[in-house]
Structure 1
């Protein structure tokens, strides 16, 4: 269950070990901790210290939303989940050839996920996406065959971004052809979103950002020390790197929501020049619940069936473990 609170004057507190919601014009409600996966707070909503403490103790993300209900931050304990050695090594790793090779593995997995999305969606249809699939496959081969040859880090990052950007253009061109006509789009747009489908993607990506950031912090990693994305003030660059692994999940959910009719264009505002399209409150419960259900679905993992949510945690833990034993090999600056 997700608690999406956007009613002005709503207050979230605790009662008898449960979250307790008080609304101005509705009956109070209580929610067992075990049922709550995420708490999202829009403007005009209040939360008590006890409710924040209960969420932190149970690793439930509290996501703060801006006026357009885009995620702008989350509440967490302020304590990383492991020893400082990991973060000391992480700073060295981020400028080492081993960090670059990790980024390459991330982008390879992302490309594999994109191919899976297109091939699965076209398996039972007459749609021909051979051009798009072929271009992504060639990019996959470029990354597979890349080897470090003494380049500077900015040059490597530019090369990787160029390859990945080309593959993404073909990928989204293919994705657009799989959508019902009201959701068709010509270009990937971020902020502002120029069409309803891109607004839906932006919303789902924002949802994943919070999940990834929390997993990194629980594993003891610094979300602000990335590799591919350049350091920027108040920008969690490692989150930007890691989320590439899971973008195909958000795109799968977005495709499912649109093709099934669960969301329609009436769930989105009309575009404005400054703000573009964005998802309205009426469509958010279905979108968030579908995403949560997708994350909770089991998938084969190390011989067991584990949820996708567990996979995010496991990836973060495996990265943290590798950094515990990290020994610099070749610094790239």
Structure 2
């Protein structure tokens, strides 16, 4: 079983990261603020004016710890990772399956079913923890729609149909997303999804979180 490790996020401007033995040291204004053993980390994400010694970069690459550099506001800039080894036979089989409509649909259906089920769980949790929220009826309707989507996914074997169900489930989820925000409503509200660029604080936060998620996915 793969052990899930931590990700180090460095947001202090002017911070300098270097290697000390088997640890990563974070220095701010020439003071050591943090030491972490390398074996506890899967990745390092640096925001803005954060520097790193070449020796630490090489050390992270050697140990399989991915490094991502983002702007201070979370826009992706670059990623550093070491040599990647792989099973050639596995890669060949993956390409074969990618060209096989039935296998592609099977894998896509499993992924989309997990996504829709998790969305449904999130909606149900909000109804359970905040039973008095505005739009509770709309959220219940979205829960029922997600259950219908799961039923349809159980029956479909066509890739385009899987994509269609996923799109409809996403539309249902985001149609009630604003009701899921229960704090700081004057600052964080949701009307519609926008990106490149995000047009409000909520969309900016979503895009930022997707960037962090992508780092973790690539580090898996």
For normalisation by structure 2, the TM-score amounts to: 0.80
In the alignment, which residue of structure 2 is the partner of 1:51?
56
* 1:86 lines up with 2:90 in the alignment: yes
In the alignment, which residue of structure 2 is the partner of 1:174?
176
Mapped partners of 1:6, 1:91: distance in 2: 42
In the alignment, which residue of structure 2 is the partner of 1:98?
103
Contact 2:65/2:219, CA 8 A, preserved across alignment: no
For structure 1, the 5+ residue unaligned runs are 149-155, 216-333
In the alignment, which residue of structure 2 is the partner of 1:121?
126
For structure 2, the 5+ residue unaligned runs are 1-6
SS at match of 2:112: helix
Contact 1:18/1:30, CA 8 A, preserved across alignment: no
* 1:7 lines up with 2:13 in the alignment: yes
Within a 5 Å distance, the mapping from 1:277-292 to structure 2 comes to none
Question: Do the aligned partners of residues 44 and 73 (structure 1) sit closer, same or farther apart at CA in structure 2, a change above 3 Å counting?
Answer: same
Match of 1:70 among 52, 72, 75: 75
Question: Do the aligned partners of residues 72 and 139 (structure 1) sit closer, same or farther apart at CA in structure 2, a change above 3 Å counting?
Answer: farther
User: Cα RMSD (Å) of the superposition?
Assistant: 2.4
| Runs of 4+ residues deviating >6 angstroms | none
The structural deviation recorded for 1:15 is: 2.0
In the alignment, which residue of structure 1 is the partner of 2:162?
160
More strand by share: 2
The structural deviation recorded for 1:108 is: 0.8
Give per-residue Cα distances to partners, 1:286-317, cap 9 Å, x unaligned: xxxxxxxxxxxxxxxxxxxxxxxxxxxxxxxx
Higher relative contact order (CA closer than 8 Å, sequence separation 6+): 1
The structural deviation recorded for 1:30 is: 4.8
In the alignment, which residue of structure 1 is the partner of 2:155?
145
Contact 2:43/2:216, CA 8 A, preserved across alignment: no
Pairs aligned (count): 204
Give per-residue Cα distances to partners, 1:218-249, cap 9 Å, x unaligned: xxxxxxxxxxxxxxxxxxxxxxxxxxxxxxxx
In the alignment, which residue of structure 1 is the partner of 2:205?
200
Give per-residue Cα distances to partners, 1:8-34, cap 9 Å, x unaligned: 4x43221233223344x3423451325
Mapped partners of 2:9, 2:212: distance in 1: 13
In the alignment, which residue of structure 2 is the partner of 1:20?
25
The structural deviation recorded for 1:142 is: 2.0
Mapped partners of 1:75, 1:49: distance in 2: 11
In the alignment, which residue of structure 2 is the partner of 1:289?
none
Question: Do the aligned partners of residues 72 and 101 (structure 1) sit closer, same or farther apart at CA in structure 2, a change above 3 Å counting?
Answer: farther
Contact 2:9/2:44, CA 8 A, preserved across alignment: yes
Question: Do the aligned partners of residues 51 and 162 (structure 1) sit closer, same or farther apart at CA in structure 2, a change above 3 Å counting?
Answer: same
In the alignment, which residue of structure 1 is the partner of 2:3?
none
Mapped partners of 2:178, 2:63: distance in 1: 39
Mapped partners of 2:99, 2:12: distance in 1: 42
For normalisation by structure 1, the TM-score amounts to: 0.55
Contact 1:15/1:30, CA 8 A, preserved across alignment: no
* 1:191 lines up with 2:196 in the alignment: yes
Mapped partners of 2:44, 2:82: distance in 1: 15
Match of 2:146 among 136, 140, 158: 136
* 1:31 lines up with 2:41 in the alignment: no
